[in-house]
């Protein structure tokens, strides 16, 4: 099993191997957490910690 992480998603490749290291079955799972263009801003104030997620603003008046 291998695990790959990025800022906004993770990918897991799982393979079942039987005899001589030949793959019997394999599958890839991918999970996205944020849309493209979302900015993450860490927030810390005394004992409060979190992340502020700001999405891109579409300005229709330009």
| Cα–Cα distance measured from residue 57 to residue 49, given in angstroms and rounded to the nearest whole number | 25
Task: Give 62's pLDDT tier (boundaries 50, 70, 90).
Answer: low
- In three-state form (DSSP H/G/I as H, E/B as E, the rest C), the secondary structure along the chain is CEEEECCCEEEEEEEEECCCCCEEEEEEEEEECCCCCCEEEEEEECCEEEEEEECCCCCCCC
Answer whether residue 4 shows pLDDT above 60: no
pTM above the 0.75 mark? no
| Predicted confidence (pLDDT) per residue in 6-56, tens digit | 555 666 777 777 777 777 777 777 766 677 777 888 888 887 788 888 877
Side-chain-side CA neighbours of 56 within 13 Å: the count stands at: 7
Domain boundary assignment for the chain = 36-61
């Amino acid at each position: 099993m291998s695990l790959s992480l990025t800022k906004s998603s993770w990918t897991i490749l799982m393979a079942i191997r039987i005899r001589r290291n030949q793959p019997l079955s394999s599958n890839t799972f991918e999970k996205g957490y944020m849309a493209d263009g979302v900015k993450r801003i860490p927030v810390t104030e005394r004992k409060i910690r979190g992340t502020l997620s700001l999405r891109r603003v579409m300005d229709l008046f330009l």
